[in-house]
Structure 1
Amino acid sequence: MTIEERLEALEKEVQQLKDVQAIKELKSRYFCAMDTKDWEAMEATMAPDIETSYSDGKLVFHGPKEITNYLAETMPKTEITLHQGHNPQIWFESDTVAYGKWYLQDDLLFDKGDTYEGLEIRGSAIYTDKYVKIDGQWLIQDTGYLRIFEESSQRDATHRVRISMFRPATKKKKIAKRKTTK
């Protein structure tokens, strides 16, 4: 192998490592946007022709708007969520097409005022994604998950959400200004 060939192979390997990192950050933005209910940010993670297969294939949507409209309708701010993707496996079909599998851990809490107030759901799933690189940016073109398990429980009156980014705290502490003396 010539030096030029070795250099070319090394450059390709470095680019693929950069692409893996970009895909990890993309999926992180997707989960963060879901939990913060930032539907514009979520749309920015999606290719224009995205398709979903959520909930073991029961929820199929086409296009970023259709997906985020559904999520905005079904995930009100009284539904507090935590979605975490772990242990990604990412492989490439080409320089512009990649696939990934993620282990999902999710928690849902239904806060005061929600139709399901007091319900708590905990579960895990395996996400499978297809990514495409468009204009130098990785986007999700296909995504979905199969559930490993899901359990639910009903919280009693002693268990409540104390703080949520979607509603102000019930009691605010006054911060005393520290007097400085010289």
Structure 2
Amino acid sequence: MSEHITRLLAIEEIKALKAKYFRCLDTKDWEGLGECFCDDLDADFTAAPGPHTSSRAEYLAMIQKALKYAETVHYGHMPEITVLDASAARGVWAMQDMVKMPAMTLTGFGHYHEEYRLEDGQWRISRILLTRLMLDMEERSA
């Protein structure tokens, strides 16, 4: 297969990976979400606001606790994916999210900055950084 076709296939597989990430996150499919990441995931959500975690297990425990009582909708747009070699890539995704929690609703816009690694024939996220351009927080009445 030509190098160009291999690169295009990797980009499409990474797009499908990110779609799975959003779907599993919003439907709280934690097992499916875990399949999106490398074991040594570096996840920095300090600008979200949120924590910085250093493994898939740590990230999954954090996100399950953080979203236990929340309804979420996440969208990723306009991916800029660069395939670095046969097993590494990086990308930037414009994003929008809404997180409805019992006391408040967060609506945000920003970018996911990610690194990807091919493991066992599957692309996975090895690093994820969320930056914000805008974050609106609205208190919800009881």
Residue identity matched to 1:60? H
Is the aligned partner of 1:124 residue 2:124? no
Q: Name 2:58's counterpart in structure 1.
A: 66
Tell which has more relative contact order, 1 or 2 (C-alpha 8 A, sep 6+): 2
Unaligned runs of 5+ in 1: 1-7, 158-182
Q: Secondary structure at the match of 1:55?
A: coil
Q: Name 1:22's counterpart in structure 2.
A: 13
| Aligned-pair identity (%) | 26
Is the aligned partner of 1:42 residue 2:33? yes
The Cα shift of 1:124 comes to 0.7
Unaligned runs of 5+ in 2: none
The answer as to whether partners of 1:96 and 1:133 remain within 8 angstroms in 2 is yes
Q: Secondary structure at the match of 2:73?
A: strand
- After superposition, the Cα gap between the structure-2 partners of 1:153 and 1:63, relative to the gap in structure 1 and judged at 3 Å, is same
Q: How many residues align?
A: 141
Q: Comparing both structures, which one devotes a greater share of its residues to strand? A: 2
Q: Secondary structure at the match of 2:62?
A: helix
Distance 1:66 1:124 in 2: 25
The Cα shift of 1:126 comes to 0.8
Q: Name 2:84's counterpart in structure 1.
A: 93
Q: Which has the larger radius of gyration?
A: 1
Distance 1:81 1:55 in 2: 18
CA RMSD after TM alignment:
1.7
TM, length-normalised to structure 2: 0.92
4+ runs deviating over 4 angstroms: none
The answer as to whether partners of 1:108 and 1:120 remain within 8 angstroms in 2 is yes
